[in-house]
Structure 1
Amino acid sequence: MTNDILLPEALRAALSDWLAHLRALDGASEATIAAYTVDLRRWLVFLTRYRGGEDLSPKAVAAAERSELRAFMADEQGGGLGARSMARRLSAVKSFTRWLSDRVGGDATALLSARGPKYRRKLPRPLSIDAAAAVLETIGDQAREDWIAARDTAVATLLYGCGLRISEALSLTGRDSPLPEVLRITGKGGKERIVPVLPAARKAVAEYVAQVPYDIPREGPLFLGARGGALNSRMIARAMERVRAALGLPATATPHALRHSFATHLLSAGGDLRAIQELLGHASLSTTQAYTAVDAARLMDVYAQAHPRA
């Protein structure tokens, strides 16, 4: 299905207002805004065609029927959309419809009661403690220059040592150097959290700053690319690709796996789940609870291998 239908001005304005609401009041990230824009555009174009090409008013959209939503879901799934993406698309449609019905009237109860496809949440794939240590020790070995090796090591150390997302590490500025003992990080949805910084992370960043051949502006990015611009996350992903090939690690050994490893290793050492939730910046404890399943799986492996009656 193509998106060649021009939506009526009132509907485009309503969609724009809803996205602005998400951005301003719910603190949605730009990535979420972009995804929801695609989701709603596809829904509105489908609904237009499903009703024979009629111009849709906001009130007509707010009164959409559950059968129409089911037809939309079937169309999207027929086009190869996975269950996880379909669940997000359905969530966007429901959220927009609820918001729209509050403003233009209409009973959206039937549509809002529609259920999305079930999917199994993928559990994190952490590295072992030894593998994580090996990554930090060797990630810079194949870098073209010593300062780039120091940079990649510093970023990886922040991911594993502080549990930062790659986007959070790359959002640090010159003002954050030298790293303090505690960082204030702004994560997804504009949510702030306090993150302790290990001495090893402060040392790694200091070694990078001492070697980088470019000036680091106080208000500019702390981590720079080979030509002096802001470092692209893809460069760290490539560094991880090289180090996992050298160490024989699986394809799941990505930059984000270092953050997963941070959480899992803390939990294994007896860390409190709610404290780990705060360190990771998860909005919901249920997100953090995925790590309990990972840890339980590890314990079952130990049990099976070590118990005399296993």
Structure 2
Amino acid sequence: MTNDENQLKETEQEKKEDKTKKTLDNLNENYKKLESYGYELQQIGLDIVKQSIIGNEYIQFQLSELPKYEEAANEYQNMNGILNDICVSGMIAIKKTQTALDFLKKGEAFVVKAIPYISSATSTCSSNAYSAIAMINQTAINTGTDLYGRYDLHMPSIAVEQKIQADLDEQLNKINPKYSPRRRGVWATFYSVSPDKKSQAANSMRDIFRDLLLLWAPNKLIEQVGWWKKLGKKTVSHNDRIRFLLYGEKEIEDQTELESIYKEVDNIYDNFSLLQGTAHGSDQEIQLVESTMKAIESSTLRIINLRNEK
């Protein structure tokens, strides 16, 4: 390769790195804005709760005193005005609280719609992070290089991983309560068995992923849709199932997100192929098994959240 070719290659790599950094910087700004809006909404919610509690306390007070006012009004004519004033102010307050409720209902409709998109964005980030880590482990095995030591690479914090797993458990419980205990059981297996048997845990995590695909996208449904028939295939692939469970029969104009998921899932299955030829119980195998399990979890959550958007 000539000097000019080397320089061109370096320039292209720098452009790619610059574009990726700008993308992540922009995404970071969006998350900061969402966090700020979230705190603002939280404060608004607290103010609503505070005013509602105070208002209700006054109503409870007036309800407890009302029979006494009525009794006094029977004896003192001028007390009738108090009862009328309470009634009038109550009707005014009803109109105002109803207006407030109407605004909140309108706002809730939009705020609630935002949540699946935020969740989907976050699981997209986590899924990509673990997919990249799995690819690093693949490369380390294929080249026999300690990439973590050479480039001072790290894993996401345990706290972040636990949040992703908690989100996944919440979603799995909505689908079927059996899945969450299964997921936790897989990790219990990973941490308890001997090093040479840890790959069994990855197989079990993959089984959960497969079960979900089969639940939402069985062969009999996929084989009836137009886009699958056009492919002229004889067997249904996991990518076919993913497309069906996310988009159904629809033709898709922009397949960027779908292709991104395909790539992550294909990378997961590449890990399993690589594990077959890796020494059981080796540090490299254990790292790949762990990153594969986390990649499966993140891809599963990403697919569930994207499905929730629809």
TM interval, shorter chain, is under 0.3
Structure label with greater radius of gyration: 2
TM-score (normalizing by structure 1)? 0.21
TM-score (normalizing by structure 2)? 0.21
Higher normalized helix content (fraction of residues):
2
